[in-house]
């Protein structure tokens, strides 16, 4: 039975991959609705023929890699279970140490290493793709260094989580999921507080914005938005990518306004101020805290479902998966498999909420800056720099897009511009005759 499960898992992954290849390369329609042709949302009006071709090529392959990556994790965890590797990792850990925590650390290292090696080819293809289309300018040595940093940071965080999780399963077989969730609340907040000052600097250098005149204007906007920031931070991304980005990160006293240096190099002042107004909107409208609350609610439901799914899977396929009970450390790949599936399945909902928040942020930014021309040109530059599709396929938007499409964002700015002109014209028409405007 174990061999059948492994065989069916491989076949299912192959069929899934072929479906998305067919969908993205032959079925999906990314052409613009006729009513938008010739508008400023039409990529033909701001991209040349070569850029249009590269955008379609790059987007199709990048989207295919996205849809292949997460199910590859599911396949790896399934094969680790049915092949007996998880049991072998446990046995090696028990033979190497007597202390329970050290055994957990050794087991998790072997599992993490196997998963890292299994997903490495797809990650390398993704890196190579970005290099070939000049989205990434990062050297291989720099890229592999970041991959290793990722590995060890994820390993350290997972070691804490897994140690606590299996301690809870030993204490309470029925309610471990609830206690795990209760502990996850302060842990999540702590990690959000820690990330800007401890984790992010491991990848990049952050320093106060060199352009003090621009910094003063951004801080003035931040003051209007009641964002507690004394500096705007610049991060050196130009040595890695040509893409553009900016964000407000952290919580409480660790809040930071951050600009990629690529954004500073490629956009003008008005465009940068629009982007910063957008990012500040997330702070003003408490999107970060709403996102944390939503994540915690989803994680509560997810842990409950994981608990039920674990019990059912062990009852039905425990022998085939080489798992005897929930509190067996060898069951960790099954937990990771279920959690990953649930996260993927819930991504359309979380993306809908995220797109709504991003739409709110765009609206806030345009009302603050009142410069639709700068907003539209910003979105056009973001499209060009990232080789992004203006009107992506439906499944790509549902599962991948946390922001509205560029078609939606640019069209919204055009609508705002029309309304403003209409108000201005109406105001002029209502002035008494003979009065100069």
DSSP structure string for 314-368: HHHHHHHHT---TT-GGGHHHHHHHHHHHHHHHHHHHHHHHHHHHHHHHHHHHHH
pLDDT in tens, 101-113: 999 999 999 999 9
pLDDT band at 432 (very low <50, low <70, confident <90, very high): low
Active site members: 279, 362
Q: What is residue 37's three-state secondary structure?
A: coil
Neighbouring residues of 382: CB distance < 8 A, sequence distance ≥ 6: 244, 388, 406
Q: What are phi and psi of 232, to 5 degrees?
A: -105, 130
Neighbouring residues of 108: CB distance < 8 A, sequence distance ≥ 6: 155, 158, 159, 162, 332
Burial 56-66, CB ≥16 within 10 A → b, else e: eebbbbbbbee
pLDDT in tens, 295-350: 899 999 999 999 999 999 998 888 888 888 888 999 999 999 999 999 999 999 99
Q: Indicate whether 416 pLDDT > 80.
A: yes
List residues forming the annotated binding site: 278, 282, 358
**Per-residue CA distances from 69 to 121, 123, 150, 222, 331 (Å):** 10, 8, 16, 38, 22
List residues forming the annotated binding site for Zn(2+): 278, 282, 358
Domain-wise residue ranges, the chain: 2-204+284-421
Q: What is residue 40's three-state secondary structure?
A: coil
Q: What are phi and psi of 433, to 5 degrees?
A: -60, 140
Q: What is residue 138's three-state secondary structure?
A: coil
Neighbouring residues of 139: CB distance < 8 A, sequence distance ≥ 6: none
Map tokens 């599709």 to a residue.
389
pLDDT in tens, 173-212: 889 999 999 999 999 888 888 888 888 888 888 888 888 8
């Amino acid at each position: 039975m174990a061999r059948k499960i492994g065989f069916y898992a491989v076949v299912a992954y192959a069929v899934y991959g072929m479906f998305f290849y067919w969908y993205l390369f032959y079925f999906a329609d990314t052409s613009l609705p006729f009513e938008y042709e010739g508008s400023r949302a039409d990529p033909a009006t701001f991209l040349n023929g070569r850029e249009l071709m590269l955008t379609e090529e790059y987007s199709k392959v990048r989207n295919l890699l996205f849809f292949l990556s997460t199910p590859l994790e599911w396949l790896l965890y399934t094969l680790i279970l049915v092949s007996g590797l998880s049991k072998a990792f446990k046995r090696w850990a028990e033979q190497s140490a007597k202390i329970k925590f050290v055994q957990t650390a050794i087991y998790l290292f072997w599992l993490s290493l196997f998963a890292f090696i299994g997903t490495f080819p797809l990650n390398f293809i993704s890196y190579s793709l970005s290099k070939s289309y000049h989205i990434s300018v990062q050297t291989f040595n720099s890229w592999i260094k970041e991959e290793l940093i990722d590995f060890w940071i994820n390993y350290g965080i997972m070691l804490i989580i897994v140690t606590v999780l299996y301690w809870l399963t030993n204490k309470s077989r029925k309610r471990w999921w609830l206690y795990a969730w209760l502990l996850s609340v302060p842990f999540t907040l702590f990690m959000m507080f820690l990330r800007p000052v401890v984790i992010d600097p491991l990848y990049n250098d952050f320093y106060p914005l060199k352009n003090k005149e621009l910094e003063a204007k951004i801080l003035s906007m931040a003051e209007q938005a009641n964002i507690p920031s004394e500096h705007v931070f610049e991060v050196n991304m130009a040595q890695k990518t040509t893409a553009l980005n900016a964000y407000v990160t952290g919580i409480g006293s660790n809040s930071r306004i951050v600009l990629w240096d690529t954004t500073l190099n490629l956009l003008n002042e008005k465009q940068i101020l629009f982007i910063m107004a957008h990012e500040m909107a997330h702070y003003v409208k408490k999107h970060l805290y709403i996102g944390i609350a939503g994540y915690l609610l989803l994680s509560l439901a997810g842990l409950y479902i994981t608990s039920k799914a674990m019990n059912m899977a062990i009852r039905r396929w425990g022998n085939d998966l080489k798992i005897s009970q929930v509190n067996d450390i060898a069951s960790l790949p099954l937990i990771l498999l279920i959690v990953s599936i649930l996260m993927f399945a819930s991504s359309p909902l979380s993306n809908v909420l995220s797109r709504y928040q991003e739409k709110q942020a765009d609206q806030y930014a345009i009302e603050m800056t009142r410069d639709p021309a700068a907003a539209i040109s910003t979105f056009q530059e973001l499209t060009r720099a990232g080789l992004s599709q203006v009107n992506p396929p439906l499944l790509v938007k549902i599962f991948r897009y946390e922001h509205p499409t560029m078609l939606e964002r640019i069209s919204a700015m055009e609508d705002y511009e029309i309304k403003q002109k209409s108000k201005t014209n109406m105001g002029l028409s209502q002035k008494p005759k003979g009065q100069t405007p």
